Chains A and B, each alone.
Chain A
Amino acid sequence: MSTPLLRVTDLQVEFPLAHGVLRAVDGASFDVQEGEALGIVGESGSGKTMALRAIVGLLPRAARIAGGTVEIDGVDVTRGGGAKLRELRGRTVSMVFQEPMTALNPVMRVGDQIAEAPLVRLGAGRRGARDRALELMRLVGIADPSRRYEAYPHELSGGMRQRVVIAIALSADPKLILCDEPTTALDVTIQDQILKLLAALQADLGVSIVFVSHDLAVIAQTCQRIAVMYAGQVVETGTVAEVFREPRHPYTLALLRSVPDFDLVRNHLSSIPGSPPDLASPPQGCRFHPRCSFVRPDCTQAPIPLIALGSRETRCLHHEDCAAAARAEPVVTGV
């Protein structure tokens, strides 16, 4: 396999607390190949957003990268200071945010916000930057772009604003777009439109996408590969088809079983017992073991590394048990 566009290896992100530290991300590892869409799924607080922000160096003020590497095009960006990262932002990697209501500057015309990166980063000139912004607005499905160019964010609907945010993310022609729950704040119908737009952009422009979501259906719709995060760690990776058909981590299985299933493959909706661990003092051994139905004595001993299974990976010692359970009672059809 060629050098991946993005390779995250054992990434760790810390928040200092009054006593000790909180490891929001503690062992996130995943690759993204050129032209590929990777979904990162996990519940709130699993560290998926922080992992994403760490990639482009846009962590909150208090947080810091405590370890691991982030290689973009083979270059480790966690070393070498902010200037290198700033150079990569927009041009190589850009972001789409969760809240289109707050992600846009309220006192700047949306067209100018889209034209800003072409103007400053690409040196397109005023006229050129404006033309580029209008072209991008057309591309992301904003009707009547020359009129909308002059609008302020508060004059647009949520879906329109998210299209503007996507246009901004595309504006300097990046190779990789990091999407942080881009549809969570939107109506279901709008959500679908935005997902289709992102899928179309990936197919047409050949841009790679990392798609963070807590919604498995959204990941299934947009991504080829998936990384499942639990308590700050990546616990399973693989293609969407493999992972959905035969999860090899009990958390993934439990997550899939907790999604309402309209094809009626399953008769009941299950929930995962217990709650995620306190990241300031995570459990010994496998972090999922207190909630796991497959738990065995060796699960609680030492931290579990990511175990490679061909093109897949899992952080479970007894993944065969899990796969067998999934085969006995399939969780999804048609993937």
Chain B
Amino acid sequence: MSLGGYVVRRLAHLVPIVLGVTILVFFLIHLVPGDPARTILGNQATDARVALLHHEWGLDRPLPVQYEKFMGRLVHGDLGSSLFYGMGAGRLVVDRLPVTLWLIGFGTLLSVLIAVPLAALAATQRDRLPDHLVRAVPLVGLGFPPFWVGIVLLLVFGLHLGRLFPVGGYGNGFTGHLHSMFLPSLTVAFGIAPILIRSLRASLLEVLESDYVTTARSKGLPERRVLVHHALRNGIVSTVSVLGVNVGFLVGGTLVIEQVFAVPGIGQLMINSIFQRDFPVVQAVTLVFSVMVVLVYLLTDVAHALLDPRVRFE
């Protein structure tokens, strides 16, 4: 099967997944105590006024009817209107989506930039000091929760070391984004890199003992070329899957990191909307998150197939 056909077929899998997600989200959020009308009108509001607002939003109708209306709008690409922002939930999400994509993309890139050299160092210096350090230090780092790591990074690089990086926001233009998103992305990377390092080191050790690396050495190639062209190129194949799974998890993890760094992405939007019981926005964000996770896994499989010619698109 060709790459294009494979991608189309995998994208078709999105439909049942998204359907399942909508059902879960729609009903679960209505189980959460709290009332958006009361949030807006305040505690002094009369029952009549609350009921009026409920009627206006359609919240007084039975849940299955509400779901039906919700789905009816969804197939037309309408995610409903925010109860608070006075604009479409879809619009709100689309406006903030680039911020979150920046965070995930930049964070993933940094994690790879950290993990690959360290794993290569550890594997080539097996059982020596650099190897022990590379194995031990990130493991300790993995024990710290991301929000704590984020706060420490903020204190050190945003405050004490002469405000090298902004303590929040998204910045303007490409370099502005790069500058502003560095610390949040680094926090993301610190969360993933230890797992990547372990995985890549293990597969590199295996590959370095393999027959084809011996073949490469028998050509008299410099050890550096053996490492990059033969060992890493093979070792990275299995690590791509590990990276994919972790980026999938990370999509949810951006909630916390966006909050810590006051980054206006959809994670932050999600948290605010949950507090306000802004049902349509919560639904929209959840939907986008689930689509993103599915796409990350799809990208992982495509990358895996492109890196390993033995993998077939099936």
Contact = CB atoms under 8 A, between A and B. Distances in A.
B234 A90 contact: no
A56 B218 contact: yes
15 contacts: A60-B209, A88-B220, A94-B218, A95-B215, A102-B211, A103-B211, A105-B215, A107-B308, A107-B309, A108-B233, A117-B219, A120-B222, A121-B221, A168-B215, A172-B219
Contacts of B214: 58, 95, 97, 103
Overall SS of chain A's interface: loop
Nearest to B236: A107
A56 B210 CA distance: 17
Interface string B190-209: 00000000000000000001
Given A102-B210, A108-B229, A116-B221, A97 B215 contact: yes
A120 B310 CA distance: 26
B292 interface: no
B230 interface: yes
Interface string A53-76: 000101011000000000000000
Contacts of A168: 215, 218-219
B67 to A, nearest CB: 48
B219 A107 contact: no
Classify the secondary structure of B's interface with A. helix
Nearest to A95: B218
Interface in B260-313: 307-310
Given A105-B234, A106-B212, A58 B307 contact: no
Contacts of A89: 217-220
A169 B223 CA distance: 18
A165 interface: yes
Contacts of B222: 86, 120
B216 interface: yes
B152 to A, nearest CB: 39
A320 interface: no
A154 B308 CA distance: 11
A58 B222 CA distance: 14
Given A58-B214, A97-B211, A168-B218, 16 more contacts: A60-B209, A91-B220, A95-B218, A103-B215, A104-B215, A105-B233, A106-B212, A107-B234, A107-B237, A107-B307, A107-B308, A108-B233, A116-B219, A116-B229, A120-B219, A154-B310
Interface residues of B, number: 25
A15 interface: no
A90 B234 CA distance: 22
Contacts of B73: none
Contacts of A169: 218
Contacts of B216: 105, 116
B163 interface: no
Contacts of A58: 214, 217-218
Contacts of A172: 219-220
Contacts of A171: 219
Nearest to A169: B218
Contact of B220 (A60, A87, A165): A87
Contacts of A88: 220
A34 interface: no
A107 to B, nearest CB: 6
Interface string A131-142: 000000000000
A10 interface: no
B30 interface: no
Interface in A148-194: 152, 154, 165, 168-169, 171-172
B225 interface: yes
Given A106-B310, A107-B308, A108-B233, A99 B211 contact: yes
Nearest to A105: B212
B234 A94 contact: no
B314 to A, nearest CB: 16
Nearest to B205: A61
Contacts of B225: 120
A20 to B, nearest CB: 21
Interface string B222-248: 110100011001100100000000000
Given A91-B220, A120-B221, A165 B310 contact: no
Interface in A116-136: 116-117, 120-121
Nearest to A118: B219
B211 A90 contact: no
A61 B209 contact: yes
A117 B230 CA distance: 13
Contacts of B209: 60-61
Contacts of B221: 90, 116-117, 120-121
Contact of A90 (B220, B230, B307): B220
A103 B217 contact: no
B309 A154 contact: yes
B305 to A, nearest CB: 11
Of residues A86, A105, A169, which shows the largest number of chain B Cβ atoms within 10 Å of its Cβ?
A: A105
A116 B222 CA distance: 12
A117 B215 contact: no
Nearest to B209: A61
- Choose among A61, A104, A106 the residue with the greatest number of B CB atoms under 10 Å from its CB: A106
A152 B215 contact: no
A108 B229 CA distance: 9
Nearest to B230: A105
A56 B223 CA distance: 15
Nearest to A94: B218
A193 B175 CA distance: 62
Contacts of A91: 220
A44 to B, nearest CB: 17
A106 B218 contact: no
B99 to A, nearest CB: 36
Contacts of B223: 86
Interface string A293-312: 00000000000000000000
A289 to B, nearest CB: 36
